[in-house]
A = this chain, B = another copy of it.
Amino acid sequence: MKVLNKETDYAVRALISLGMKPDGWVPAKAISDEQAIPYQFLRRILQELIRSGLVESKEGAGGGVRLGKNPADIGVAEVIEIFQGKVQVSECMFRKQLCSNRANCVLRHEIMRIEQMVNEEFSKVTIGKLIDDLKAVEALTK
């Protein structure tokens, strides 16, 4: 059971990379090289990040991309949602036979609790936090 797929994985890495170069426009090629992400695949990923406002872009020579929000305001949950949709345990695990009334279905309620918890935790892990952690590790290993 893989929670993050390649798109989300690459997107997070790209966002971290951008967050560490806050000045100017970074071409997709630079990120692709630095993070070893296939160029065309990354391009498509960046376009989705742009559409959803996490990243801004500038066309033409000297152009590229940069973060569209403060790194501390970008939670991994948000990135997951863009590429893999909202976390949902099952379409509806307890229909018909098992659950006469959807509204007060305790079982579904139970499961949705975990869903929400996961979402909250993934929201707390922001790009900013990841960058901070990363810097702390780098300082130690130097």
Tell me the A residues contacting B by CB distance below 8 Å.
1-4, 9, 12-13, 16, 34-36, 80-81, 84-91, 93-94, 96-101, 104-107, 110-111, 114-115, 117-118, 121-122, 125, 129-130, 133-134, 136-138, 140-141
Q: Is the CB of B12 within 8 A of A96?
A: no
Q: Decide if the interface of chain A is mainly helix, strand, loop or mixed.
A: helix
Chain copies in the assembled complex = 2
| Known contacts A94-B134, A114-B125; 12 further A-B pairs (Cβ under 8 A) | A1-B84, A3-B88, A4-B89, A9-B90, A36-B96, A98-B134, A99-B134, A100-B141, A104-B141, A106-B134, A106-B137, A110-B129
Q: Is the CB of A98 within 8 A of B13?
A: yes
